[in-house]
């Protein structure tokens, strides 16, 4: 059991070790390479980093639940865009004209409802048809994106509401609104996965589906709830982000699924389900954002970020495999 314990400790701590490594590297390298003379590890910079992590991070929490459950959701980017459009466009609808600023909570609610419904729709299809979640959400990724484009063609949808912008740009106890949302979502999902019956059953289903079925756990509803949660969180992420920016392009959110999945896998969630933690995912999100910012800080452009993240993802997979090798006697198949 000794080597197992070691590799487990390595695995759960790895993401934080990696973050520390990143911090050290970029601080040192920044001294020599950075164009600006601001230190990388300055407090403001770190706070900004947390805020910038929010859009991906909020969705990643939902993805953790879906992946722990043994599924995957590729449609989150498109759901994100639809929710954003609903949010911004609904504020201009004539029926809400009389509401004044009270249109804001209504628009929020609408966007969140739409996101939840789209997620639940994925879940329902996975449940009732038995088609693999990968295929279902691959399809809805195209479909939902099509809906986005059908709404306004290639043109952006914009609406700036200054009350909303003020709220989104507000800071409370030194943290931006978006950061608070990220932290709150992390906390709630952490609680959900660790301390509720739904969360524990989700783990059981992802870990050993037959055992779960034999124990009388109803697999379908749990999966659907998790898809609804990720839909809700994709919409929440859009709500948080677009309250501030006020304009959505039909291409927004593209490749979000890749970023989110990268963060979740970096955070130690098993692709086949059954294992993973929200805290690990939080680490994964921070690590990725740190990498993006850090590489920018030392003067590398976006291309390098893509290259490095891709390589790191594969390296993590490789290390994970090496840690799980049972020894030389293992069957070679």
Partner 1 sequence: MTDPVLRLEGIVKTFPGVRALDGVSFSVLPGEVHALMGENGAGKSTLMKVLGGIYQPDGGEIVMGGETVVMSGPLEAKSKGIVFIHQELSLAEELSVAENIYLGELPRKSFGRVDWARLAEQTNTILKKLNVGFDAMTRVGDLSIANQQMVEIARALTVDAKAVIFDEPTASLTDAEKVVLFEVIADLQKDGVGIIYISHRMEEIFKITDRISVLRDGQYQGTVETTGTDEETVTQMMIGRKLDLSRNAAHHELGAVALEVRGLSCGDLYRDVSFTVRRGEVVGFYGLVGAGRTEIAETLFGLRVPSAGQILLDGEEVHIHSPADAIGKGISLVPEDRKGQGLVLGMNCRDNMTLPQVDDLRAGPFMAEGAEVAIFDQYRDRLDIRTPGWRQKVGNLSGGNQQKIVIGKWLSMHPNVLIVDEPTRGIDVGSKSEIHKLLRELAAQGYAVIVISSEMPEVLHVSDRIIAMYSGRIMRTFTSDEVTEDSLIQAISGLGGDREA
Partner 2 sequence: MATLTKQKIGGILARQGILIAFAIFMIAFTLASAKFLSVDNVFSVVRSSAILGVMALGVTFVVISGNLDLSVGSMMSFSTIVVLDLHDKIGPALAIPAMFAMTLCLGAIIGFLVGYLRLNSLIVTLGMLSAIHGLTLTYSGGQNMDIADKEGTWFSVFGQGSALGIPVPILIFVGLAAFLGVVLARTPFGRKVYAVGGNGTAATFSGIRRARIVFQCYLISSACVATAGLIQASRSLGSQNTVGQGLELEVLAAVILGGASLLGGSGTIFKTVIGVLILGFIQNGLLLLGLQFYVQFVVTWVIIILAVWLDIAAKRGKLLSPIA
Smallest gap from residue 109 Cβ to partner 1 (A)? 22
Pattern 166-195, partner 1, x by CB under 8 A: -----------------------------x
Smallest gap from residue 218 Cβ to partner 2 (A)? 5
Using DSSP, state whether 175 is helix, strand or coil: strand
Pattern 239-258, partner 2, x by CB under 8 A: ---------------x---x
Given a contact cutoff of 8 angstroms between Cβ atoms, the answer to whether 161 and 246 are in contact is yes
| Count of Cβ atoms closer than 10 Å to residue 91 Cβ | 22
Which of 94, 95, 214, 322: binder of partner 1 (CB under 8 A)? 214
Q: Which two tokens stand for residue 248?
A: 């959505």
Pattern 194-213, partner 1, x by CB under 8 A: -xxxx-xx-xx--xx-xxxx
Given a contact cutoff of 8 angstroms between Cβ atoms, the answer to whether 111 and 239 are in contact is yes
Please report, as residue ranges, which positions from 198 to 217 form the binding site for partner 2 (by CB under 8 A). 213
95 binds, among partner 2, partner 1, none (CB under 5 to 8 A by kind): none
Nearer to partner 1, 95 or 197 (CB): 197
Given a contact cutoff of 8 angstroms between Cβ atoms, the answer to whether 65 and 86 are in contact is no
Which of 71, 79, 116, 140: binder of partner 2 (CB under 8 A)? 140
| Count of Cβ atoms closer than 10 Å to residue 98 Cβ | 8
Smallest gap from residue 108 Cβ to partner 1 (A)? 23
Q: Which of 13, 16, 1 is nearest to 283 (CA)?
A: 16
Which of 94, 303, 327, 329: binder of partner 2 (CB under 8 A)? 303
Buried-state track 197-215, b at ≥16 Cβ within 10 A, e below 16: eebebbbbbbbebeebeee
Nearer to partner 1, 219 or 308 (CB): 219
The helix or strand, by DSSP H or E, that contains position 157, with its residue range, turns out to be strand 157-158
Residue 142 as a binder of partner 2 (CB under 8 A): the answer is: yes
Given a contact cutoff of 8 angstroms between Cβ atoms, the answer to whether 148 and 78 are in contact is yes
Which part of the chain contacts partner 2 (CB under 8 A), choosing from 86-94, 105-113, 155-163, 297-305?
297-305
Residue 176 gets which letter from DSSP? E
Residue linked to tokens 């520390």: 20
Q: Which residues contribute to the site for partner 1 (CB under 8 A)?
A: 1, 4-5, 195-198, 200-201, 203-204, 207-208, 210-217, 274-275, 327-333
């Amino acid at each position: 059991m000794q080597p197992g314990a070691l590799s487990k400790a390595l695995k759960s701590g790895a993401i934080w070790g990696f973050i520390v490594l990143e911090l050290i590297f970029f601080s040192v390298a920044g001294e020599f390479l950075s164009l600006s003379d601001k230190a990388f590890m300055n407090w403001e910079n770190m706070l900004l980093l947390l805020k910038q992590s929010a859009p991906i991070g909020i969705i990643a929490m939902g993805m953790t639940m879906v992946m722990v459950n043994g599924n995957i959701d590729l449609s989150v980017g498109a759901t994100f865009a639809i929710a954003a459009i609903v949010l911004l466009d609904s504020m201009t609808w004539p029926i809400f004209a009389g509401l004044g600023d009270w249109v804001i909570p209504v628009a929020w609610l609408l966007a969140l409802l739409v996101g939840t419904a789209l997620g639940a729709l994925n879940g329902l299809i996975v449940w009732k048809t038995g088609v693999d979640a990968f295929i279902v959400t691959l399809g809805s990724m195209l479909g939902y994106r099509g809906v986005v484009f059908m709404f306004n063609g290639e043109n952006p949808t914009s609406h700036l509401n200054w009350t909303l912008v003020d709220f989104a740009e507000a800071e409370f106890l030194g943290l931006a609104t978006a950061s608070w949302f990220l932290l709150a979502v992390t906390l709630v999902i952490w609680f959900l996965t660790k301390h509720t019956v739904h969360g524990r059953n989700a783990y059981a289903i992802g870990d050993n589906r037959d055992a779960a079925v034999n124990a009388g756990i109803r697999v379908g509803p749990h999966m659907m709830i998790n898809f609804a949660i990720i839909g809700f969180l994709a919409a929440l992420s859009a709500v948080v982000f677009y309250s501030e920016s006020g304009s959505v392009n039909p291409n927004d959110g593209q490749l979000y699924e890749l970023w989110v999945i990268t963060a979740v896998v970096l955070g130690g969630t098993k692709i086949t389900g059954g294992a993973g933690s929200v805290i690990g995912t939080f680490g994964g999100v921070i690590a990725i954002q740190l990498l993006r910012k850090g590489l920018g800080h030392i003067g590398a452009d976006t291309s390098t970020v893509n290259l490095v993240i891709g390589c790191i993802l594969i390296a993590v997979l490789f290390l994970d495999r090496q840690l799980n090798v049972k020894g030389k006697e293992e069957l070679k198949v």
